[in-house]
Structure 1
Amino acid sequence: MNKHSFSFGTIIMVVLFGLSSCEKPFMDGDPDYNHRENFEYLWNEVDQKYSYFDVKNINWGEVYTEYSPRVNTNMTNEAFFNLMFEMLGTLRDGHVNLRSSFNVSRYNISYDAPENYNGRLLEDYYLEPNELNHFDLAEHSYITGPLKHQLFPVNGHLIGYIQYGSFSYPISDYDIDYTLNRMRPTTGLIIDVRQNGGGAITNIFQMINRLTEEKHYLYGTVIKDGPEHDAFGELMKVYNDPEGSIKYTKPVVIITNRNCYSATTFFAAALKAYQNVTQIGDTTGGGAGAPHGGQMPNGWYYRFSVTRSGYPNGDTLYDFETGVPPDVYVNMDPSDEENGHDTMIDTAITLLISQSKK
């Protein structure tokens, strides 16, 4: 592939057209068309345009061999939909959907992983002042735009905490200025994006741009541009823009779990370039391919990933479609949870305090 640098705006307009939201609306329609024709159409569309066969070690020809004999022209629309639902599930991709007027296919990557999150525990024992809380909190947590934030006093240190629940909600300049200004006296900062299923990829940069004074090559993206499985266009590089009057360049820990998907995976991948940021928790859920789609002859709508992205890893790019691995693996310990402790937050606090002593 030829390499070329593009502005982030160009990437958004040209490449990530399908990631402006993790769920795109579909049109309805399911007239009674020939199931064989529709099967062949959908299989061929995926065969020529899907971007991750080799990364996921998927033999799409074998999928055809398995599912083609099961197509019966006498089967109901519901039965045919379920068969196509099952076939698309072999792609193991949350950006793959099929929609009729009566159902929507989807794939949940987090089925095979621990949840690693307890919202009630977080509220009772960490974020709000009460008799259960582990800290002598000065006040209730703040909610500034989409950001919930708190200050944890721990053994003479002040640890900042920011929770960003969904990248579907933008952060204004005021939101980030106010929040980071509140974090000025802290030793280190926790950014908790567990359960953040993604949203608008543009929104990750409002946070990313404030965590460094330098410009970094964050990741590269290529678009599928031919019917062969290895046919991709030029590599387009994405950089941060270290802007804003208020920045936070002290140690930062981001906490992730498998429910971090799509734009949140890009968030974790981009921060691999920052020396002051450590990712802990579990591998993100992936979702690095921008989805694009169309309409089958019977009126059903489909979408699937048509791009690939990777972050710099030495002289190569680490493809993060299957998730961004943490620097430190941590799972919620059931015994900790029973005693009101979030193992991941406690680990983040310990790590930040230890980094402050170096």
Structure 2
Amino acid sequence: MKKSFLPLLLLLTLFTRPAFAQIDTVDNIPMKDKLYGLSKFWSEASQNFAYFDHAKINWDSTYQAFIPQMLATKSTWEYYELMERFCALLKDGHTDLGFPEKLLTHKSRYKWIFIENFNKRFIVTDIPVQYKEKVPLGSEVISVDGMPAKEYAEKKLIPYISSSTEHVLWNRAAAMMFYGTDSSKVFHLKLRSPKGKLFDYDYQFHTYGTKWVRRNGNTPWKLLDFNMIDGIAHVKLNSFGDEKIIDEFKKVLPQLYAAKGVILDIRDNGGGDSGIGAEILKYFTDEKVLVGSAWKTRDNVAAYKAWGIYQLRDTTKNRKLSAWQQKVIASAKNDYWYQGDTMTFNNDIKEQKIKTPLIVLASNNTASAAEDFLIILSTLKGRATVMGQRSYGSTGQPMPLALPALSQSRICTKRDTYPDGRDFVGIGVIPDMEIERTPDDVINGKDGVLQRALKEINKKAK
């Protein structure tokens, strides 16, 4: 069951990587195209979106309120920003808008500060070397242009972010703290150093790169990364988007069989194909069938809606509704669902199984099909301990959508739950041992979660 997570990550990358293109804010597509884009997105979401109960809005009246706002836009960029705000009201990480890539110019601008979220506090985790004395790593952003940092995020950033969960919403707000198109704009920051000293710092984008205190030298990305730590196998599964990872995993099986324990690390896994993760889990259990998430999707049957409207007009008091009447009334209320099969995977591998202690590391970045991996694991009672932070909290099947001036956009059409019907979308899969990231660990290059996992394996292996 394929569930690509790339469009969302691509959009986020545009605003978090050190260098990105400047944006043309003059281009202006015809108003009829803007109104069509707004209407098309509203219409498709009305029929197919899976999480209106999470959004908690009246979608029709919201659409009506956005029409005059769209009529007031004067550029393609303003159209895109308004569409972002409209989309963000659905509060879903698998429902998002494609970026207007034609607005990207050939000029680059470079980010000269990295800020991360720690419990709604915005902490500087990297800075150009020439500013390391002025802006100590670990300093907290207190205000931006005179506005308290939390309020700034809530008013200037969060209204444009599509997210199912609070933790991801604030992580992304920190990453795109200086979202905007004006390369010459100076942001006036007030910060508090780790020692408690308040100081000012004026920030702006630059037209050239810099040398960083922490993140100089690029470590090549690998589909699977493996190392042995004191007899314990640490296997990083960085994506389920390519079946080659199964072959990469099989190559390290001899070391896994010999290890006193295995740590599967999916903290940076943004998803892909749920079946790929299931294939890897088969090596850790004798269960004949692996059980994953249950799912449903909205079912739009036009005749049911028509019949349901007439049923809703019947004002007979205390009437008993038949199953058919309940069904068509639900359809008229756009609340009629097709119940899909619970995901299952036959464990048909013939190779030796790995019996040693297993720990799985997860984080806020563990998303989509990687969350399905955690759901399968939750049904293998006692086989593994999950450690780290709660997961991204968004999965499902996005429906591609073409909108004027935008690259491929998406609407989530499939609602996933635990096999017993409990929600994890909008919450995140909560680990057995929840361990928060700390600014000190990030800044000093420590991996506190991995260290705790190694200790836990050693305890279990005794």
Report the TM-score, using the length of structure 2 for normalisation.
0.58
Offset of residue 279 of structure 1: 1.1
Matches of 1:43 and 1:103 in 2, distance apart? Answer: 24
The equivalent of 1:345 in structure 2 is: 450
The equivalent of 2:249 in structure 1 is: 176
Counterpart of 2:361 (choices 233, 236, 255) is 255
Could you tell me which amino acid in structure 1 is paired with residue 299 of structure 2?
D
The equivalent of 2:294 in structure 1 is: 220
The equivalent of 2:80 in structure 1 is: 81
Cα distance change, pair 81–162 in 1 and its aligned pair in 2 (3 A)? same
Matches of 2:405 and 2:445 in 1, distance apart? Answer: 53
Is the 1:223–1:308 Cα contact (8 Å) retained in structure 2?
Answer: yes
Matches of 2:410 and 2:278 in 1, distance apart? Answer: 26
1:330 counterpart = 2:435: yes
The equivalent of 2:129 in structure 1 is: none
Offset of residue 309 of structure 1: 1.0
Matches of 1:64 and 1:173 in 2, distance apart? Answer: 45
1:151 counterpart = 2:151: no
The equivalent of 1:112 in structure 2 is: 170
1:276 counterpart = 2:274: no
The equivalent of 1:241 in structure 2 is: 346
Matches of 1:336 and 1:84 in 2, distance apart? Answer: 38
CA RMSD of superposed structures (Å)? 3.4
Query: Any residues of structure 2 matched to 1:6-17 within 5 Å, and which?
Result: 12=1, 16=2
Offset of residue 337 of structure 1: 5.2
The equivalent of 1:198 in structure 2 is: 271
The equivalent of 1:163 in structure 2 is: 236
Cα distance change, pair 165–281 in 1 and its aligned pair in 2 (3 A)? same
Matches of 1:258 and 1:58 in 2, distance apart? Answer: 26
The equivalent of 1:22 in structure 2 is: 6
Offset of residue 171 of structure 1: 3.7
Is the 2:396–2:416 Cα contact (8 Å) retained in structure 1?
Answer: yes
The total of aligned residue pairs comes to 306
The equivalent of 1:310 in structure 2 is: 417
The equivalent of 1:5 in structure 2 is: none
- SS for the counterpart of 2:429 is coil
The sequence identity of aligned pairs, in percent, is 22
Offset of residue 277 of structure 1: 1.4
Cα distance change, pair 74–219 in 1 and its aligned pair in 2 (3 A)? closer
Is the 1:160–1:189 Cα contact (8 Å) retained in structure 2?
Answer: yes
Deviations 1:72-127 (A, max 9, x none): 16633322221011110122323223334536997466352499xxxx89x9xxxx
Report which of the two has the higher share of helix: 2
Matches of 1:38 and 1:68 in 2, distance apart? Answer: 11
Cα distance change, pair 229–293 in 1 and its aligned pair in 2 (3 A)? farther
Could you tell me which amino acid in structure 1 is paired with residue 413 of structure 2?
V
The equivalent of 1:136 in structure 2 is: none
1:295 counterpart = 2:402: yes
Deviations 1:265-320 (A, max 9, x none): 111222111221111111111221210033347887532100011123xxx31222
Query: Any residues of structure 2 matched to 1:123-162 within 5 Å, and which?
Result: 146-153=223-230, 158-162=231-235
Offset of residue 252 of structure 1: 1.2
Could you tell me which amino acid in structure 2 is paired with residue 40 of structure 1?
S
- SS for the counterpart of 2:293 is strand
Could you tell me which amino acid in structure 2 is paired with residue 179 of structure 1?
V
Cα distance change, pair 111–294 in 1 and its aligned pair in 2 (3 A)? closer
Cα distance change, pair 58–258 in 1 and its aligned pair in 2 (3 A)? farther
Unaligned residue ranges in structure 2 (runs of 5+)? 11-27, 105-159, 175-213, 301-330
Matches of 1:333 and 1:232 in 2, distance apart? Answer: 42
Offset of residue 172 of structure 1: 5.8
Matches of 1:183 and 1:47 in 2, distance apart? Answer: 49
- SS for the counterpart of 2:63 is helix
Matches of 2:355 and 2:58 in 1, distance apart? Answer: 45
Matches of 1:79 and 1:166 in 2, distance apart? Answer: 34
The more displaced of 276-285 and 213-222 is: 213-222
Matches of 1:72 and 1:263 in 2, distance apart? Answer: 39
Is the 1:259–1:284 Cα contact (8 Å) retained in structure 2?
Answer: yes
Rg bigger for which structure? 2
Matches of 2:38 and 2:245 in 1, distance apart? Answer: 46
Cα distance change, pair 63–333 in 1 and its aligned pair in 2 (3 A)? same
